[in-house]
Structure 1
Amino acid sequence: MVNAPRPFSLAARAAIATGLVLAGFLGLVGLTLSRANHETALNNLHDRLQNYVIAYLAGTEVSRYGKVLPPDAPPDPSFSQPGSGLYAVVLGDQGFRWESSSAIGRDFNFLKTLQPGENRFAGPVETRMGRLYYYAFGVAWDVPDRKPLRLTFMVAQTEGQFEGENAVYQRTLIGMLSILGVMLIVLQLLLLRWSLTPLRKVATDMARVERGKSDHLDSQYPLELTALTDRINAFIDSEREQRTRTRNTLADLAHSLKTPLAVIRSRLESADNEPGLRGDVLDQVRRMDELVAYQLARAATSGRQTFASAVPVAGHAEDLVRSLEKVYAAKNVLCEFEMDEGAAFYGEQGDLLELMGNLLENGFKWAGHRVLLVVKAQPQAGRQRPGLWLSVEDDGPGIAEDKIEKVLQRGVRGDERVQGHGIGLSIVQDIVKAYRGELVVDRSAELGGARFSVNLPAS
C-alpha cells in the first residue's frame, strides 16, 4: 500500500505562499522599474542626440556661394574617433554629404533628407553597421542671391551603447531586489515563527497532558485560540468523566450481582426438591436483569459534548407523557406543560429521554391527580448554546426537608433504593452530573407536592 504524501506544515505552507507572492511582487516591481528606466533612458537619448544636432547646426556655416562649412570642433570627442559608435552626418541638395570622422567608411544609405522644420527620432533600425538610434532634423539655409539651401543634420548612436547603460541599471536593480527579497523572506520567517508560537505551545501542552504531567491545557493563549483550547479542555474533562463513570459502573455492577448470585448458589446447594426453589431463582434472575439494565443505562450516559446537536424537547415530552398516561390511566393524572418555544437539549437524545422520562415517571407515580412539566431555555451572554431549566412538580405528599439530603445522596451500590422514589433518581443524578448541571429537590409552590428541578448550564 502506497502511503499518501505527508501534507506540508502550516509554517511550510505560509513560507511557500509568502515566497511565491513576494517573488511575484518583486518581479513586477523590477519589471515596472526596468520599463520606466528604459523609457527614461530613451527620452534622455533623444534629448542628447537632439542637443548634438543643435550643436552641429549652431557650429555650421554656409558661404555666400552656398558652400557648407561644418564646425571645426565636434560637440563630443567620440565623433572624432573612427568606429566609436557615435556618428554625425549632414545631407544637402545636389548630392552634398558630410560625415564625422567616426562615420567615415560607414553605410548611411538608409537616411533620407527631411523637409525644413521636420525632425525624426527612430530606432533601433537595422543597418549594415548593426542596430542604430538616430535623430534627424531638416533646415532651410538662406543664402544671399540664391535659393535656400536645404540640409538634413543627423546624429546616430549604436544600440550597444544604449543597451549597455540599461544593462548596468538592470544588474544593479536585480541585485538590490534580490537582497531586499532575501531580507524580507528572513523577516517573514521570523514573524511566522513568532506568530506560530501559540500553536506550538498548544502542541507542547497537549503532549504534557498525554504524558500525564498536566491536567489541562494552559489558559494563557491568544484570543483566536481560546475557543479551541476551551473546547479541548472540555473534551478532556468529558473523556475522563466518561472513563471514570464506566469504571465505577462496572464496579457497581459487579458488586450488585454478588448478592443475587450468592442467593442462587445457596438455594441450589441446599435445595432438595424444595417447592419454592424455582420462584426464588426467578426472582433473583429478574433482580439481576434490572441491575444490569440500570448500570448499563448509567454507563451509556454520554455527558456534555462540545459539538452536540440540538434535540427539541417538546416532541419528546409529549410522547413520554402519552405513554405514562396509559400506564397510570387508573389514577387519571393530568400533566400540564409550561414550555418555551424552541427549547432544546444539547446532548444525546437518549440522555434527554432518560432524564425527562425518570422525572416524569416519578411525578406520575406519586402525584394525586396533577403533574406540571416546566422547560425553559436560559441564554447566557458570551455562550453559543443556551442553558436548559427543566422541572417536574406533582401534587403528591412531597418530601420532608430532613429527607431531601438523603434522597440526593449518590448510591455507591447499584442496588440501593431511595424509599418512595425508585431507581430512576440515581440515573437522573448521573446524567445531570455528566452534563455539569444541578439537581434540586424541594416543594412545589403551585401544586404542593415534590418538585425536581434540573439546571443545565449554557455552553
Structure 2
Amino acid sequence: MLAAFLGLAFFALDRAFYDAAESSLRERLQGYMYAYLAGSDMTRSGNLIPPEVGPDPRFDQPAASGLYAGIVGARIIGAKDQIWHSPSALGRDLPFTADLVRGPPQFSGPIQTPVGALFVLSQGVDYNSGAKNELHLTYYVAEDSRALREQVDVYRRTLLGWLGALGAVLLLLLFAVLRWSLAPLRKVATDLARVERGTQERLDRSYPLELAGLTTGLNNFIDAERDRVKRYRNTLSDLAHSLKTPLAVMRSQLETGSEGEKLRWTVLEQVGRMDEIVAYQLSRAATSGHQTFATPLLLEPYAEEIVRSLEKVYAAKSILCEFDIDRAARFHGDQGDLMELLGNLLENAFKWARRRVLLTAHPLPAGSGRRAGLDLVIEDDGPGIPEDKVVHLLQRGVRGDERVQGHGIGLSIVQDIMKAYRGELHVDRSPSLGGARFAVRFGPR
C-alpha cells in the first residue's frame, strides 16, 4: 500500500509539475508574441515593418538558439515569399506557413520538426491604418522542448530521490510501529506457550487495556477447564470411595457363607445403594460449570416446564407457584445445569410448602464486567429451616454417598453447581411467606 501510494504521489506530482512548466512556457511565449506585436509597425501604404530586435537575445542568434519567431503576411517589408523569420529561424524548416484568422492565441506542441520538437504559439492579427489599408498577419513564436524536458527530468530525479528516501523512512517507521504495537500480542502468545508447557499457571502479566478483555477471557477459560478436570477427578475419586462400602458388604456376605435368601436381599440392597451412588455422582460430573463463552438463557421457559411437572407430582397439595422474573434476567451457563438447579430448589419448595411458592429472578448490574449477574430466590410458606441447622444443611460431606434428609434433598448437587459457577447460596427464612428462602447469586463477570 505504501509503494502504491508513493507511486501515485510521484505520478500526480510529476503531472502537476509538467503542467505548471508547460503553462509557464506558454506564458513566456505569449510575452514574446506581445513584444513582437508591440515592436512591429505599419507604413502609410499598408506595409508591415517587422521588429528589428527580438524580446530575447536568442531570437537574434543565427545559430540554433532554441527560440524562433516568424510572421506570415502579404505585405511585409524585407520578407521573402511573404514570410518573415527572426535571425535564429533563417534557413530552417519551421511550421510557420499557416494563415490564421484573427482570434485568440493557439498553443500546440511538442510538434516534431526537422530542428527538433517545438512548442508553438500562433495568433492571427489584423492591422488597420485607414479605410483601404488593412493588413492581415499571422505571428508565430516557438521554443525548443529540450529545456522543458531537461527541467522535468531534473525534477523527476529529485522527486524520485526524495520519495524513495521518504518511502524507506516510512517503511522503517511502520516496521517499528507494528513491532511495538504487536509486542503485547507476542507476550500473550509467549505466555500461552508457557501455560501449555505447564511452566506458568495463568496469563499474569500486565497487558494493555485493548487486550485486557482477551486475556481475562483466556484466564477464565483456562480456570474453567482446570476446574472441570479437577471436578471429574474428584467425582471419580468420590465414586470409587463410595462404592467401596457396598462392595465390602457383599464380599463379607459371600465370604461368611450367608444363606441364599439373606444373601439375595443383601445384594439387592447394596446394588440399589450403588445405583443411587452412581446416579448421584453422574449428576455431579454432568455439571458444566462456569463457561466463559456461554449463551445466555431465559429463565421463565425452563421454570414453567419444571413447575408443570411438579404440579402433577404434588397435585394433591394444590400449590400455587408464582413468578416474578425480570425480562432481562439471564443465566450464563449450560441448560442442564439450569434445569438441575431450578429442579432441585423448586422440588424442595413444593415438598415443604403448604400452599404457595414464589420464584423471583433479577439481573445484577454488569458494572465493569462483560455480562450481568443473576439473583435467584425461591421461597415457600412451609415450616422453614431452623437457623441452627442451616450451616449443617449446607455442609458438603467428605464421603460422596452421604445424604441430608428433609430440606437437604438435592442440595449437595446444588452446592456443586454453585461451586462450579462460582456462585453463592444462602438459606434463611422468607420474610413474606414465612417458610424457607433459598437465595442464589451469580455475580457479574
For 1:25, the equivalent position in structure 2 comes to 5
Pick one of 31, 50, 65 that aligns with 2:30.
Answer: 50
Deviates more, 1:223-232 or 1:282-291: 223-232
1:242 aligned partner, one-letter code: R
The within-5 A match list for 1:323-342 is 323-330=309-316, 332=317, 334-342=319-327
Equivalence for 1:15: none
Alignment partner of 1:93 is 2:74: yes
Instruction: Compare 108-117 and 350-359 and name the one that shifted more.
Output: 108-117
Deviation track 1:170-227 (CA, whole Å, cap 9, x = no partner) reads 2222222222222222222222222222222222232333333443323633333222
AA aligned opposite 2:249: V
From 206, 212, 216, give the equivalent of 1:226: 212
Tell me if 1:120 matches 2:106: yes
User: What SS does the aligned partner of 1:157 have?
Assistant: strand
Q: 2-side partners of 1:112 and 1:261: how far apart?
A: 123
> What's the offset of the Cα at 1:292?
0.9
Aligned to 1:34: 14
Paired residue secondary structure (1:185): helix
Match in the other structure for 1:364: 350
Q: Is 1:159–2:140 an aligned residue pair?
A: no
Structure 1 residue runs of 5 or longer lacking an equivalent are 1-19
Distance, in Å, in 1 between the alignment partners of 2:55 and 2:427 is 115
Return closer, same or farther for 1:296/1:147 CA change in 2, 3 Å cut-off: same
Aligned counterparts, 1:202-217, within 5 A: 202-217=188-203
Matching of residue 77 in structure 1 with residue 77 in structure 2: no
Paired AA for residue 364 in structure 2 = Q
- Distance, in Å, in 2 between the alignment partners of 1:239 and 1:361 is 30
Identify the range of structure 1 (139-148 vs 155-164) with the bigger mean alpha-carbon deviation.
139-148
Query: Is 1:177 the counterpart of 2:163 in the alignment?
Result: yes
Alpha-carbon offset, residue 249 of structure 1: 0.7
Q: Tell which deviates more after alignment, 57-66 or 24-33.
A: 57-66
Bigger Cα displacement from structure 2, 299-308 vs 95-104? 95-104
- CA deviation digits over 1:269-323, x for unaligned, max 9? 2235432111110111111111111111111111121221222222222222232
Question: Aligned pair in 2 of structure 1 residues 104, 216: CA closer, same or farther (>3 Å)?
Answer: same
Aligned positions of 1:162-311 closer than 5 A: 162-218=148-204, 220-311=206-297
Which residue number in structure 1 is paired with residue 337 of structure 2? 351
Q: Is the deviation greater in 374-383 or in 113-122?
A: 113-122
2:365 alignment partner in structure 1: 379
**Structure 1 residues 276, 151: CA separation in 2 closer, same or farther (over 3 Å shift)?**
same
Deviation sequence 1:23-82 (CA, Å, 0-9, x none): 343333333322222222122212222333344455567788858465267722365253
SS in 1 for 2:24: helix
Aligned to 2:78: none
**Aligned-residue offset at 1:429:** 0.3
**Which stretch shows the higher mean deviation, 202-211 or 429-438?**
202-211
Match of 2:56, as an amino acid? P
User: How far off its partner does 1:430 sit?
Assistant: 0.5
Contact conserved, 2:58 with 2:88, CA < 8 A, in 1?
A: no
Question: 5+ residue gaps in structure 2?
Answer: 76-80
> Residue 441 of structure 1 aligns with which residue?
427
Residue 87 of structure 1 deviates from its aligned partner by 2.1
- Tell me the distance in 2 between the aligned counterparts of 1:144 and 1:397: 133
2:387 to 401, 410, 415: 401
* CA–CA distance in structure 1, aligned partners of residues 397 and 131 of structure 2: 137
Q: Do 2:324 and 2:360's aligned partners in 1 also have CA atoms closer than 8 Å?
A: yes
In the TM superposition, residue 166 of structure 1 has moved relative to its aligned partner by: 1.8
Judged with a 3 Å threshold, the aligned counterparts in structure 2 of structure 1 residues 143 and 421 are, in CA distance, closer, same or farther, namely closer
Work out whether residues 319 and 353 of structure 2, in 8 Å CA contact, stay in contact via their aligned partners in 1.
Answer: no
Equivalent residue, structure 2, for 1:455: 441
Aligned residues: 438
In 2, Cα distance between equivalents of 1:374 and 1:145: 113
* Aligned counterpart, 1:135: 121
In the alignment, is the contact (CA less than 8 A) between 1:333 and 1:367 conserved in 2?
no
Give SS of 2:376's match.
Answer: strand
Does 441-450 or 400-409 show the bigger shift?
441-450
Distance in 2 between residues matched to 1:75 and 1:110, nearest whole Å = 19
The two structures have a TM-score, normalised by structure 2, of: 0.87
Structure 2: distance between partners of 1:313 and 1:212: 39
Deviation at 1:240, TM superposition (A): 1.4
Structure 1's 57 and 318: CA in aligned 2 closer, same or farther, altered over 3 A? closer
Quick one: distance in 2 between partners of 1:27 and 1:50? Answer: 34
| Aligned-residue RMSD, C-alpha | 3.0
